[in-house]
Structure formats: C-alpha cells, structure tokens
C-alpha cells in the first residue's frame, strides 16, 4: 500500500514538510482552517503528489478519530507530523495548554498503534520550551508521565499558575511536549517506531511573523541578533531537519529534540566563563 504521511496541523512549516514527501507518500492533511488545508493540499498536488484533507481540531476527540481513520484508510501510515499550535499572541493561556500540549499529546496517543514498524513521528515543539529554564524534577516527571486525563489538571498548568501569561503557558506547553515525546520513545520503540521533537527558533511563518510584529517582537529580535546565525529561519530549513528525522537516515534516533534555531539556545544558555 502507498505510505501515508499524516499531518496534524497544516500551517506553513507542515506544508513545507508535506512537499518533501509528495513524491513518496499520500499526504492526509488535518487542520481546523479550511484555507490552510487547501494551501497544503494544493502544494502537494503542485509537487506531483496526492493529498486529501480532513477538518481537524486536535482538541476534539471525534475529529481526531475521523482523522485517524482517514489516514489508516489511505494506506500504511509510516510518518506522522504534529505541527498544530497556537502562539502566545494568538490565544489565551488556557487555550494554549489545550492545543499546544493536550491536543498534541492526544494526537500522539491516538496514533500510538497506527504507525507501521519502521515508521516515525515528529512533533514540533519550540525553543520556548528550552528558554523556560530549570523546572523542578518532580514537575518535569509529572509532565512526562501523568496519564492524559490528569495532565491538564497539573497545578503548574492551571489558570492561576499561568496568571494570564500566554508566553509562560506556551513555554510550559512546549517543554512538556518535549518530555512527553521522550517518555513515549520507549513504548513506541517496542513497536519499532521512532518519535522525536524539533524545537524551531523564530521561523518565517504566519505564526512567526505575528509574534515578531507583537509587543514580544523586540525581545525576540534581541535573541535573534545574539545568535551565532543572527536571522529568522525558513520553513525549508525546518523541513530539511524534519525530513531527516522522519526518514531512514535517522533510523537510530528516537526520544530526542533537535533544536533548529541558528544556535540561539546553544549560546544564550551556555554557562558563563569562570571569573578570572
Ligand atoms: N513560526 C515560529 O517561529 C515557530 C517557532 C517555534 C515553534 N513553532 C511551532 O511550529 C508549529 C507550526 O507552526 P507554524 O510556524 O507553521 O505556524 P502556522 O500558524 O502557519 O501553523 C500552525 C497551524 O496550527 C493550526 N492549529 C491551530 N489550532 C489548532 C488545533 N486546535 N488543531 C489543529 N491545528 C491547529 C493552525 O490552523 C495552523 O495551520 C507550531 O506548533 C508552533 O508552535 C513555530
């Protein structure tokens, strides 16, 4: 059967990844926005591939079940990209936790027995998860391992703890996603399937541009300017990393996070030189 790439969230990054797979995979495109689905489907078709689309809000279990069924009917699912997300200027803290963490985790759980042995999943996290800084080990342990039904009720993810701060919600959601994927690597590996995250820096997408134009933009530009490669990244650069992690060249890589950010995190979080 034709291999299938399942896309949960079909924004600009996901579209660039889908085009990389157009020659080899049928692409099933899930996103709540019809316009975004149409752009991705059209891009795959323009690259000579086959794509179908399904309305998908990752927080809606019924839509997710329908998306899963469409993917399984389309062929052998060998690749899953979870690129659904809302940025800090796009949503409330509660909705960011719902979509960027709980919705993303729900996709991973629903697809756990869908991918064929030899396949791979990739979840898009963010450098925001790294810039969150140290988190108590017991909190990280809870985020990594709590059953899905209890994760959303974790005190550090509550409305009170997030204090109307969408950036904090985004950072915690993205850190928690990295941890969930690390925790999933064991059981997924037992089925012969790999799972990783990518943490992009500031990338030239609808979301990236909106964040840069917001009041957070000045701080983001300072981080960009201080990076070894001081510029915004492109969706093609993320797609190259994604194609690698989803493909056979990464056959021994699972449970890891690949930072694609021009070196921003590597240098900003490097411990300072000892005082002389
Ligand atoms: N652009 C950046 O600078 C940047 C940096 C780091 C991480 N990211 C992450 O990359 C991923 C892809 O974002 P992008 O940059 O391509 O932006 P984008 O806005 O083009 O794509 C995000 C997509 O997620 C979809 N989405 C929103 N809510 C959803 C829901 N409930 N269910 C399913 N899909 C939903 C949107 O409709 C959109 O198509 C996101 O997880 C984002 O947090 C982006």
Read off the pLDDT of residues 7-50 as tens digits, 9 standing for 90 and up: 999 999 999 999 999 999 999 999 999 999 999 999 999 999 99
Q: Which atom of ligand 1 is nearest to the CA of 59?
A: 31
The CA distance from 260 to 78, in Å, is 23
Structural domains present in the chain: 3-201+234-262 (3.40.50.720)
Ligand 1 pocket, residue 124 CB under 6 Å: yes
List the helix and strand counts (H, then E) for the chain.
Answer: 14, 7
Task: Give pLDDT, residue 269.
Answer: 96
Pocket test of ligand 1: the residue of 7, 56, 83, 106 to mutate, having most ligand atoms within 8 Å of its CB, is 83
Per residue in 112-137, pLDDT (tens digit) is: 999 999 999 999 999 999 999 999 99
Average pLDDT, the chain: 97
Residue nearest to atom 30 of ligand 1 (CA): 57
Given a cut of 80, whether residue 1 has pLDDT beyond it is: no
What distances in angstroms separate CA 146 from CA 37, 102, 141, 161, 182, one per listed residue? 32, 12, 8, 18, 13
**Residues, the chain, total?**
276
147: confidence class by pLDDT, cuts 50, 70, 90: very high
Ligand 1 pocket, residue 217 CB under 6 Å: no
The CA distance from 240 to 235, in Å, is 9
Per residue in 232-258, pLDDT (tens digit) is: 999 999 999 999 999 999 999 999 999
Task: Give pLDDT, residue 234.
Answer: 98
Ligand 1 pocket, residue 31 CB under 6 Å: yes
């Amino acid at each position: 059967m034709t291999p299938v790439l399942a896309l949960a969230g079909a924004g600009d990054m996901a579209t660039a990844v889908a085009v990389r797979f157009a020659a080899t995979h049928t692409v099933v495109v899930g996103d709540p926005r019809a316009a975004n689905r149409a752009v991705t489907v059209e891009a795959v078709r323009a690259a000579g591939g086959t794509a179908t689309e399904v309305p998908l809000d990752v927080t809606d279990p019924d839509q997710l079940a329908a998306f899963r069924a469409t993917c399984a009917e389309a062929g052998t699912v060998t690749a899953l990209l979870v690129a659904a997300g809302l940025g800090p200027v796009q949503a409330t803290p509660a909705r960011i936790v719902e979509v960027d963490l709980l919705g993303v985790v729900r996709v991973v759980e629903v697809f756990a027995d869908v991918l064929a042995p030899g396949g791979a999943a990739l979840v898009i996290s963010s450098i925001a998860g790294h810039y969150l800084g140290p988190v108590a080990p017991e909190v990280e342990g809870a985020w990594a391992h709590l059953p899905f039904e209890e994760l959303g009720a974790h005190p550090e993810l509550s409305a009170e703890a997030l204090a109307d701060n969408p950036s904090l919600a985004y950072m915690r959601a993205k850190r928690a996603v990295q941890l969930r994927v690390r925790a999933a690597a064991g059981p997924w590996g037992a089925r012969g399937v790999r799972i990783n995250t990518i943490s992009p820096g500031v990338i030239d997408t609808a979301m990236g541009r909106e964040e840069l134009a917001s009041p957070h933009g000045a701080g983001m530009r300072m981080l960009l300017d201080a990076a070894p490669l001081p510029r915004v990244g492109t969706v093609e650069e993320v797609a190259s990393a994604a194609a690698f992690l989803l493909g056979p060249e990464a056959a021994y890589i699972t449970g890891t996070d690949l930072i694609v950010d021009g070196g921003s995190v590597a240098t900003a979080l490097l411990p300072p030189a000892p005082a002389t």
